[in-house]
A = this chain, B = another copy of it.
Amino acid sequence: MNFTSDNWAGVHPAITENLAQYASGMAAAYGSSELDKRIEQRFCEIFEREVAVFFVRTGTAANSLAMASVNRPGGVVLCHREAHMVKDECGAPEYFTGGPRLQTVEGAAGRMNPASLLRELKHFRPDFIHAGQVMAVTLTQATEVGTDYQPDAIGELAAVCRDHGLPLHMDGAGFANALVSLDLTPAEMTWKRGVDIVSFGGTKNGCWCAEALVFFDPGKARDLPYIRKRAAQLFSKTRFVAAQFEVYLEDGLWLKLASHANAMASRLADAVRGNPNFRLAWDVQANEVFVILPAIQAEEWRARGVGFHQWPVPADLIGTVAEGEILAKLVTSFATPAAEVAEFSEILAGEK
């Protein structure tokens, strides 16, 4: 029963097969092959408009290059307090931009809201250059705590950005999970609500390593080829990333895989709700389940072979998590067996 992380999962068989199919033969390198071009075009269809797409190989790279594309001197990026970019990327976004700061914004359940965003923005005034200048806002969808931004919530943040002349970036490492959870089209969850750039993740949802950086205004991506190359993210045999996306985006495979992961998380959540010793930290809207439970029971879980991460208690849960309790993070993926979820549910039922 391994709920440690969706990046512990392997690769979906259809994707592996497609890689093998392209393994022989010569093809133009550095993203200029026919396959690369075809899959770039596929992204335009998926998003229902012309987009500029750049394949990269880690979510950290996608996020960092997105920030590099909007970089400004004395720049400040606003993001939620729990954002992956600020907590788990070892300073990559700052490194790739040569210094700009990630300034965190408060907000319950992993979400910024317009009020908290406006409060932060007030600190940066054109007549006080000592504080620097805000250069972008970034949100994570699904959020780091397994919740979603509703499309209207995205639209409200985008409106604040527009009023301040700021680009809005979406870290979509779990893009598919949010999409199926909200039952939206890619366009509805992004540019139709004012998002400018998306880090579109495939790795956590069945690919080996396939991420894409998507710009809804291709004119804003003019320097991206140079940004990607000097960041060592232009791969010679990049067609093998394209080959992953080819299958991933075919016949809705990506949505099926995400739906499975979400469904497994939903069942875990039900099991948790059924045991009065445990409680959910936040609504379960994607493929992550955060459980508040006595530390002693967490150890019992481990003893029974349940793999999971203990999570630092964030600011908005202080007071909620009692002495002797911990916060556990359970993650499901495209590869999580229903049998493991059932087994775990039985354990929870038995511990009542």
Residues of chain A touching chain B, judged by Cβ–Cβ distance below 8 Å, are 2, 4-5, 7-13, 16-17, 19-20, 22-30, 56-58, 60-61, 64, 68, 72-76, 87-92, 94-102, 123, 129-133, 203-204, 208-209, 223, 225-227, 229-237, 240, 312, 335
List 9 other contacts, CB 8 Å, given A91-B132, A92-B232: A10-B27, A16-B23, A17-B20, A57-B235, A58-B236, A76-B91, A87-B130, A92-B230, A94-B100
CB within 8 Å for A16 and B13 given contacts A72-B223, A92-B229, A99-B91: no
B91 near A230 (CB under 8 angstroms)? yes
Contacts of A57 in B (CB 8 A): 57, 209, 235
Residue of B nearest to A97 (CB): B99
In the complex, are the beta carbons of A7 and B237 less than 8 A apart?
yes
Task: Verify B99–A102 contact, CB threshold 8 A.
Answer: no
Q: In the complex, which residues of chain B have a beta carbon less than 8 angstroms from the beta carbon of A234?
A: 58, 60, 129
Bound-state Cα–Cα, A301 to B57, Å: 37
A12 vs chain B, min Cβ distance (A) = 8
User: Which chain B residue lies CB-closest to A241?
Assistant: B209
How close is A256's CB to chain B, nearest CB, in angstroms? 17
Contact sample, A vs B, 19 pairs, CB 8 Å cutoff: A5-B236, A7-B29, A8-B27, A11-B19, A11-B23, A60-B229, A73-B227, A74-B227, A75-B91, A88-B130, A90-B129, A90-B131, A91-B100, A91-B132, A94-B94, A96-B99, A96-B232, A129-B234, A209-B237
Q: Is the Cβ of B22 less than 8 Å from the Cβ of A10?
A: yes
Q: Is the beta-carbon distance between B229 and A231 smaller than 8 angstroms?
A: no
Q: How far is the CB of A105 from chain B (nearest CB, A)?
A: 14
Instruction: State the 8 A-B residue pairs at the shortest beta-carbon distance, nearest first.
Output: A7-B236, A74-B226, A95-B99, A61-B232, A98-B98, A90-B229, A94-B99, A73-B226
* Complexed CA–CA distance, A101 and B90 (Å): 9
Min CB distance, A161 to chain B, in Å? 19
Evaluate contact between A16 and B11: CB separation under 8 angstroms.
no
If A10-B26, A13-B24, A131-B87 touch, does A229 touch B74 (CB 8 Å cutoff)?
yes
Question: A73 — which chain B residues lie within 8 A by C-beta?
Answer: 68, 223, 226-227, 230
- Please state if B231 and A92 are interface contacts (CB–CB under 8 Å): yes
CB pair B235–A90 under 8 Å, yes or no, is no
- Docked CA distance A4–B232 (Å): 21
A240 touches which of B11, B12, B56, B97 (Cβ 8 Å) = B11
User: In the complex, what's the smallest C-beta–C-beta distance from A192 to chain B, in angstroms?
Assistant: 29
Chain B residues near A4 (CB-CB < 8 A): 26
Report the minimum CB–CB distance from A36 to chain B (whole Å).
13
Most buried by B among A75, A91, A96, A203: A91
A98 to B99, alpha carbons, bound, how many Å? 5
Give the residues in chain B near A72, CB-CB below 8 Å.
223, 226
From the candidates B5, B10, B95, name the one contacting A231 in the complex (CB within 8 A). Answer: B95
Within 8 Å CB of A76, what residues of B? 91
* Residues A58 and B209 in contact in the complex (CB < 8 Å), given A90-B226, A95-B230, A131-B90: no
Q: Which residues of B contact A230 (CB under 8 A)?
A: 73-74, 89-92, 95, 99, 132
Interface centre among A5, A7, A27, A64 (most CB of B within 10 A): A7
A241 to B97, CA, bound (A): 28
Interchain nearest-CB distance for A68 vs B (Å): 7
